[in-house]
Amino acid sequence: MRNRIKDLREDHDLTQQRVADAIGITQRKYSYIETGTQALTDELLVKLADFYNTSVDYLLMRTNNPSRYR
C-alpha cells in the first residue's frame, strides 16, 4: 500500500507537500504514511482515493485496476 501511494504521487510528479496540502495533513505526517511509520485512517484513505480519482481497493492493493468504481 505504501509503495502504491508513493508510486501514485511520483507518477503524477507531485511533492509530498502538495499531496499533504490537498488532503489536509502536514508533509511530515504524509511522509510517515508513505514510509509506514503512521497508519492510514479510513478518512485519509478516502481522501487519497478522491485526490487520485481511484478506488480505496486500489490503494490497498486489493486490485490492480486503478479505475474508480461506478
Query: In a 10 Å sphere around its CB, with 0-12 CB exposed, 13-18 middle and 19+ buried, how is residue 57 labelled?
Result: middle
pLDDT at 68: 83
Give residue for cell 486503478.
66
Residues in the chain: 70
In whole angstroms, give the CA distance from residue 43 to residue 15: 21
- Decide yes or no: CATH 3.30.300.20 for domain 2-59: no
Quickly count: other Cβ atoms within 10 Å of residue 58's Cβ.
Answer: 20
pLDDT digit string, tens, across residues 10-45: 999 999 999 999 999 999 999 999 998 998 899 999
- Domain borders along the chain are 2-59
pTM: 0.88
Instruction: For residue 1, give the amino acid letter.
Output: M
Count CB neighbours of 66 within 10 A.
15
